[in-house]
Structure 1
Amino acid sequence: MNDAKQTPPANDQTDDQMATPTADSEVVQEPSVPNGEGEPAAPAEDSLVEEQAAEIAELKDKILRAMAEVENMRRRASREKEDAHNYAVTKFARDMLAVSDNLRRAIDSIPAQAREQEDVKHVLAGIELTESELLNTFEKHKIKKIEAEGQKFDPNQHQAMFEVENPAVEPGTVLQVVQTGYAIADRLLRPAMVGVAKGGQKKADVKVDQKA
């Protein structure tokens, strides 16, 4: 008997060929999943950044306002302290001005011829020394005389008591001081009582005609 050899059919395919997909077969793709940096998360992040920026700006504004308020309080306290230092003795100083006035009256009341007498000379020297010490004490507390005689009348520092006819000076010039005025620091303590010039000739304004 002849054994017949059987060959596989021509149209049969191998297992590897069956496993390989053809061009016409469908390819199933897995759905894409957005990562953490994808488009869907961007709006939420922008909103969070804007919210944080607004909160930082608000906190910064509050801090600046608080710092400004503290600085204003510091300046106010410093000014009140300086005022208390300069003007705490105002009432006492005003009372002491009467002592200074009396000392000056005592000096002015001594006639010129009597000043040459030995006894009067010693008394006068003592009164003048006392007045000098008092004025030095005034200076230490920023209490100063107001220079009035020969000055232009200033209603903020002078009090006019009478007027004097004097054509030799400009009207409004202080000619006589009846009572000395004083200022403490930059405030008026007592106005100077003065006599003011009336009439007289005003300073002429010199006008120069300019020709083109």
Structure 2
Amino acid sequence: MSDENKPGETAEIDAAQTPETDASVAPEETILKLEAEKAEMNGQILRLLADLDNTRKRADRQVSEARVYAIEKFAGDLLSVADNLARALEALPESERESLTDAGKNLLGGIEMTAKELHTVLGRHGVAPIAADPGAAFDPNVHQAVAQIPSPQPSGTIAQLFQPGWRIGERTLRAAMVAVSTGPAN
């Protein structure tokens, strides 16, 4: 065999080793084509950078929310403790508090301090009570209407609070149970 390549092999080697050149394409057209490719790639890079920035912001927001709302279930469980302490304090009328023995007064003081400390700790972790005073505007996002009653309050406002509501951050942890006023009775 000679050192010469077979006719079919020569064409394949030449096509693989030489860059694609077309004598019929003008250099200006090649430059325009490359500029268009460059612009397309720049656009792709900008979209990828924007997507990366959005992903970073979303991750930062999720981490921030996780810090705020991580105790949501635990705080919700503690609300029944706060309710029970409030009921214990309401069970003893003001008129009877003066007639308590020293031991009874100490017990009452301990319950009051415990309720106050629980509210302080909840507040320290972003858990706050929802305002639901009589006469305040009814907001279905934070109030749960369980009744409509006639009252001296304007119609559509809160007439009475049955159970306090709580929020953690911007989320409602438990809606306040209220009665909504139908206005003064006729």
TM-score with structure 2 length normalisation?
Answer: 0.79
Matches within 5 A, 1:141-156: 141-150=125-134, 151-156=136-141
Alignment of 1:1-212 (within 5 A): 44-116=26-98, 117=100, 118-150=102-134, 151-166=136-151, 168-200=152-184
Root mean square deviation, CA, Å: 1.8
Tell me the distance in 1 between the aligned counterparts of 2:113 and 2:170: 27
**Local SS of the residue matching 2:148:** strand
State whether residues 159 and 194 of structure 1, in contact with CA within 8 Å, keep that contact through their aligned partners in structure 2. Answer: yes
Tell me, yes or no, if the aligned pair for 1:114 and 1:120 is still in contact at 8 Å.
no
Deviations 1:164-204 (A, max 9, x none): 212x3211221211100011110111011112211339xxx
Q: Which of structure 1's runs of 4+ aligned residues deviate more than 6 A?
A: none
Task: State the SS of the aligned residue for 2:116.
Answer: helix
Specify the code of the residue in structure 1 equivalent to 2:128: K
Higher percent of residues as helix: 2
Q: Distance in 2 between matches of 1:163 and 1:51?
A: 74
SS at match of 2:132: coil
- Percent identical among aligned pairs is 40
Q: Alignment length, in residue pairs? A: 159
Note the residue ranges of structure 2 that are not aligned, 5 or more in a row.
Answer: 1-22
Instruction: Work out which of the two has the higher radius of gyration on C-alpha atoms and give 1 or 2.
Output: 1
